[in-house]
Structure 1
Amino acid sequence: MNGYINVFKPRGLTSHDVVKKVKKILKVKKVGHTGTLDPNASGVLPICVGKATRTSEYLLNADKTYIGELTLGISTDTQDGEGSILNYSNKEVEEKDIISVFNQYKGEIYQIPPMYSALKFKGKKLYELARTGVEVEREKRRIYIYDIDVLKIQDNRKILFSVKCSRGTYIRTLCNDIGEDLGTYGYMSYLIRTVVGPFKLSDAVSLETIQEKCEINKVGDILYPIDYPLSNIEPIYVPNSYYKQLTNGMPIDIDLINTKNINTKDDILRVYCKDTFIGIGRVTKVNERVVLKLDKVLM
């Protein structure tokens, strides 16, 4: 069994919890996820099964879309509703100021990752240090906000918004920083992930659905092919006669393939042969020969 399942992660489970549950349901050894979703958030969590686990790295950089809620007037140590309250403010913020500040967060911005995160400092996860009361200095990280829109403002205190962002974006930190820019405090009071790469919330399935499909031997109904989330990688189609060489890890002279659409070297490629996706490769130089070689055979 090889491929991806677009799982709806319920609130309260860690991403690793979901991996363990899927592994138990499917009774397969190799199962992984393609990027952590906070335990207090729900939504799209692509799960890779079998040989698809070898391609998960290519989905880590996929853009993601969320719907979140920012509550103003309070800050917490975790920057969400699960943490301890640090500060209060009774400042009233006007709607026009809220919209103005949100608009300032479009484009390239920098974030300081929260202490309650899985990032590591000298081999220890930050949240492990935070739980012992230790805080360490974190470097700012560059992220990109492709789009951010205010959907609804309630009592000028609760703001529902949507955001499309790059890898590494902490929506909790976004809420905290927007609160500070408004001259008050803020925390993330709700979060659902609606898109990861090509995977959408409308197509996500529950753990219960996976169990039901497994019981009637129809997991294939919800299993996406390994190459489904890799459409951003350029494809190359190789004549059938080179199938054995490629799948045995042997390089092939690029001139023999007679392809016109590959001009760059060392760019990763989706490689197809015999009308089948056979792996991830690249065009590179070997002993002055320009060749195609598979980095990952996925047959």
Structure 2
Amino acid sequence: MLNGILVIDKPKGMTSADVVYQLRKVLHIKKIGHAGTLDPDVTGVLPIAIGQATKLIELMHQRNKQYVGTGIFGFATDSYDISGKTLTTKQLAEPISAAKIQQQMQTFVGEIEQVPPIYSAVRVNGKHLYEYARAGIEVERPKRVVKVVSYDLLGQPKFEDNCGQERFEFAIECSKGTYVRSLVNDLGTKLGVPAVMSSLRRSASSGFELSQAVKLADIIADPSLANDLIQPIEHFFQDYQQVDLTQSQWLKVQNGAAISLEIDANQVALRYNNRVKAIYQRKSNEYRPYLMLLQNK
């Protein structure tokens, strides 16, 4: 039985749920889920939790994500990306300097309030925002607090004289729930020009990178690849303090009992037979179960 994280390089045109459906079918596995939804037009790292690793999904969501993408100054859409309806156009008389773009990017770094795009899966009164948008119903979009760790210009922006538009590439590291489309749209607002995101690729998520990713088509063509490419559960807990259990401690952990440990850590990964079997959390002078992974073999 597979237990671990299969890192998929999600192709364009598929939802994250589509990827899970295809993998469930070819791998014949019921316990499977993804960590971190990607829009259909976005490609890149999509961690797929399998077996016991499905218990990690909430923890996986808590880790930062990294993206590289491109944007365009000169027009804006209702969805904040090029798949939407154009709302505003404005030809640039001259290029915006790289220094000015980078300066405004830095104003987004830190904890910020963000309004999600109207074409998004955020729910208001039980409905997705995109449902209101498609029905032509105006609704107040809820602000949310997100964290932007970094927002940087990559290379030099490219000005196109013939259409008065400027293209730029960027890299972003951010917390869960951050809409990169909104960051591009809002960057344009700061610079006084309409802006739209033209492409986006997730380069890292939940501690996993593109170098560890496999294309979905390759797994569909040869499902046995999953056995060789799946990342063990232990990989996710590399930055945790780890303790190898004695036989007597292991007997207690199997029953969910508290144990005493001579360490100084809020949470600890407990190992037995070289496998993480549980995450325990400190409570007073002992450690108690936080997450059980007893079937991780």
TM-score, structure 1 as length reference: 0.89
Alpha-carbon deviation of 1:25?
Answer: 1.2
One-letter identity of the residue aligned with 1:190: S
Q: 1:163 aligns with which of 161, 166, 172?
A: 172
Asked if the contact 1:58/1:230 (under 8 Å) is kept, the reply is: no
Give SS of 1:59's match.
Answer: helix
Residues 160-195 of structure 1 show CA distances to partners (whole Å, capped at 9, x for unaligned) of: 111111222111000100011111101110100001
Asked if the contact 1:66/1:163 (under 8 Å) is kept, the reply is: yes
One-letter identity of the residue aligned with 2:218: T
Residue aligning to 1:297? 293
Alpha-carbon deviation of 1:281?
Answer: 2.6
One-letter identity of the residue aligned with 1:81: I
In the TM superposition, what are the counterparts of 1:101-120 in structure 2 within 5 Å? Answer: 101-120=104-123
Alpha-carbon deviation of 1:105?
Answer: 2.3
One-letter identity of the residue aligned with 1:130: A
Identity %: 34
Alpha-carbon deviation of 1:244?
Answer: 2.8
Q: 2:252 aligns with which of 245, 248, 253?
A: 245
Alpha-carbon deviation of 1:139?
Answer: 3.0
Residue aligning to 2:158? 154
Most deviating of 75-84 and 140-149: 140-149
Residue aligning to 1:199? 208
User: Closer, same or farther in 2 for the Cα pair 1:157/1:137, shift >3 Å?
Assistant: same
What is the number of equivalent residue pairs in this alignment? 286
Asked if the contact 1:33/1:46 (under 8 Å) is kept, the reply is: yes
d(CA) in 1 for partners of 2:50, 2:216: 14
Give SS of 2:173's match.
Answer: strand
d(CA) in 2 for partners of 1:294, 1:162: 35
d(CA) in 2 for partners of 1:50, 1:253: 26
Name the Cα RMSD after superposition. 1.9
Most deviating of 149-158 and 225-234: 225-234
Residue aligning to 1:27? 28
Moved over 6 A (4+): none
Unpaired segments ≥5 residues, structure 1: none
Alpha-carbon deviation of 1:270?
Answer: 1.9
Alpha-carbon deviation of 1:279?
Answer: 2.1
Residues 226-260 of structure 1 show CA distances to partners (whole Å, capped at 9, x for unaligned) of: 231233444333222222331232x1341xxxx32
Residue aligning to 1:235? 242
In the TM superposition, what are the counterparts of 1:204-283 in structure 2 within 5 Å? Answer: 204-214=213-223, 217-249=224-256, 251-254=257-260, 259-262=261-264, 264=266, 268-283=267-282
Give SS of 2:184's match.
Answer: helix
User: Closer, same or farther in 2 for the Cα pair 1:234/1:263, shift >3 Å?
Assistant: closer
Residue aligning to 1:11? 12
User: Closer, same or farther in 2 for the Cα pair 1:28/1:138, shift >3 Å?
Assistant: same
d(CA) in 1 for partners of 2:214, 2:78: 33
One-letter identity of the residue aligned with 1:221: D
d(CA) in 1 for partners of 2:178, 2:290: 32
d(CA) in 2 for partners of 1:238, 1:294: 16
Alpha-carbon deviation of 1:294?
Answer: 5.2
Unpaired segments ≥5 residues, structure 2: 160-164
d(CA) in 2 for partners of 1:81, 1:263: 47
Alpha-carbon deviation of 1:291?
Answer: 4.3
Alpha-carbon deviation of 1:110?
Answer: 2.1
Alpha-carbon deviation of 1:97?
Answer: 2.5
Alpha-carbon deviation of 1:143?
Answer: 1.9
